[in-house]
Each structure stands twice: as structure tokens, then as C-alpha cells.
Structure 1
Amino acid sequence: MTTAPQSPLPSHPRLRLRLAPHSGMPRPVDGAWWPRSYDLIAELPWLLAGLPRAWGHITSVTVNGATWPAVPGRILVSNQVVRLHRTRPASATHTIVLLAPGQGRWDLVVVPPDTTEEAAEPLMAAAADGQA
């Protein structure tokens, strides 16, 4: 098992996350995340720390195997085990799926880290508006 940074997290640039407004209706996408690198072990703790508390404890994360090259079977984030799964390369290329038992599933569009701010902003806005 890989261990990720423990709380409190050291100083880090602002989390680039935009979530859709909460509603009772299911959405195809729940928002967008723009990580700073393709290092999932470094990026995931920041994402999970920035999620709403109402989402509960995320215990499972599914990412695209081609997009995220190094994905161990599980990591420790804030003293909690998070299981990591990889999809086939052709499946859900730019999404990450977060699962919290008894709370729900959330799908986020992943804006590639090397995207410019000018290109990333409309992608994130569209995902937060449910248009991604």
C-alpha cells in the first residue's frame, strides 16, 4: 500500500475543482477537477481533502488506466484506505469516479494538467453546469 501525505497537508497551490450545484436530480457529471500533474498519488489527497463533507468518506476511486500511468491498488489518505481502480484505456478517458458507501457516486471531468488556463476555464464551467 502506498502512503499519501497525512493531514494537515503542507502548503500547496489552490485546488482546481469546480462542482455542480447540489440537486436531487442525477447528473451525468458532478463537476470538474484540474490536477497539476499526472501523479495520482500526489494529486488524489488534495482532491479528496477539498470535497464537500456531505459526500462522505471516499473509499474507492476509478481512473482511466491510460491517463494515469502509475496507479497502485490502494493508498492511505488521511489515515483512511482508498482503493484505486483502472478502466480500459478507451473508457472514460477524462473522468474520475469517486465512491462513498451509503453516500453516493460522483463523476468528475478531469481537465488534463497541461491545459492552459484559457482552455481549462470553459471546460470546468461546462462540467459544473452539467454540460460536459
Structure 2
Amino acid sequence: MTATVERTAPRDLAAELPARLSLTPKSSLAGQLDGAWWPYSRDLEAELPPLVAALDEPWGRITRVTVNPTRWPVVPRTVPMAGRRLHVGWFTEQDPDKLILLSYTVGRWDLLVVPPETPPAAAARLMAAAAIPGSVLTARVLMANESVIGRGIRDALRREDTWESEGGACMSPFGNRLDASTLAPGNGWR
């Protein structure tokens, strides 16, 4: 059996879906980050147009983006957008988990890039943390913190599974596992 993989599928998907953004509210408190972006893939050519389109109105016309090539398999020099080209640069000195957006007229914004494969709960924590006004946490620190939090959650779930599999679950006198519905008042168990 032969399978044909269409390489344009992620691009089509990214173009149809809205950019997943969490931006810092306007405030006089300057922080390390201006928010977070959670792309659907690691294809910059597909992911940048919806991101820039979502930010054009609140931030002005974005003309240049910089990334660290560590997290992106291909870094194009330019990305075509509606009637214009977005210039893309890369710097190995830049934090790999950060995207910098530049505008000739308005300025610069730094966004945490949440990896596309991040589970939704972890992505929500990262996006909320990156959008706190005046936060001194860098992209690298936020990603390291999430790694520790995620590891702690996985360890707790593993301990609970071990407890359950070793007989730690509540059992009825008949050998059946009890859950909240079994223990509800009115069914003989209290």
C-alpha cells in the first residue's frame, strides 16, 4: 500500500485557522515579553501571515520578523503576504523560544513562541504567564518553569496510577472499584 503525503496540508491548515495569541494588555509596566504565540506547526512561511495579519491593526504594519533557527527547520528570507513581503531574519544569539516583530513606525515586540506540540494545558499556562504586564521573566525562564511544572504533573499522575494499580483504590466488599457515583448518598454506601 502506498500513501501520498501532501506537504501543503499544514500550510493550508495554518492559513485557515486564526493565530493563537495572548498579548500583554496596554500598560505603563514594561516587561520582558509582549505576549505569546502558539503556532500550529514549525513552518514559518505558513504561520507568519496569520500572525502578522492579526497584529497589523493593534500594532501597526509589521515589516520584519527575527527568529533563532534552532526551533525552525526552514527560515525563509521573505514571506509573501497580502500584496507585500515580510522580511525574516535569524540570529543564533536570540532566545530560541522568542520571536521579535519589528515595525518601521511603531517599534518592536517580543513574543514567547509556545512550541506547536505543547499540550493545551501547558500552552495555556505559558500564554497566560507571558502576557503578565511588567513581568521580568524571559522566554527561556518561562519554558524552563513549564518544564518543571509539567514534570511534576506527570509524576503526580504516575504516582496516582501506581496507587490505583496496586490496590489503593477504594473497593466494595464485593471486589468492585468504588467511584464518586457509587459512594453517593442514597445508594446504601456512605
| TM-score of the superposed pair, with normalisation by structure 2 | 0.60
CA contact (8 A) 2:36 2:111 kept: yes
Find out whether 1:101 has 2:88 as its counterpart.
no
What SS is found at the alignment partner of 1:50?
A: helix
Question: Which structure is larger by alpha-carbon Rg, 1 or 2?
Answer: 2
Q: Which runs of 5+ in 1 are unaligned?
A: 1-9
What is the CA distance between 1:25 and its match in structure 2?
Answer: 4.1
What is the CA distance between 1:58 and its match in structure 2?
Answer: 0.6
Instruction: Tell me the equivalent position of 1:65.
Output: 69
Pairing partner for 1:127 from 126, 130, 135: 130
Q: What value does the CA root-mean-square deviation take over the aligned residues?
A: 1.8
- Separation of aligned partners in 2, 1:73 and 1:83: 6
What is the CA distance between 1:26 and its match in structure 2?
Answer: 3.0
Identity %: 43
Instruction: Tell me the equivalent position of 2:33.
Output: 29
Q: Which runs of 5+ in 2 are unaligned?
A: 1-13, 138-190
- Separation of aligned partners in 1, 2:15 and 2:112: 25
| TM-score of the superposed pair, with normalisation by structure 1 | 0.84
What SS is found at the alignment partner of 2:16?
A: coil
Q: Which runs of 4+ in 1 moved over 6 A?
A: none
- Separation of aligned partners in 1, 2:18 and 2:76: 25
What SS is found at the alignment partner of 1:61?
A: strand
What is the CA distance between 1:116 and its match in structure 2?
Answer: 0.3
- 1:1-132 matched pairs, under 5 angstroms: 12-51=16-55, 53-88=57-92, 91-130=94-133, 131=135, 132=137
Bigger share in strand: 1
CA contact (8 A) 2:75 2:90 kept: yes
What SS is found at the alignment partner of 2:126?
A: helix
What is the CA distance between 1:29 and its match in structure 2?
Answer: 0.3
Higher relative contact order (CA 8 A, sep 6+): 1
**Distance verdict in 2 for CA 1:80–1:11, change over 3 Å:** closer
- Separation of aligned partners in 1, 2:78 and 2:56: 22
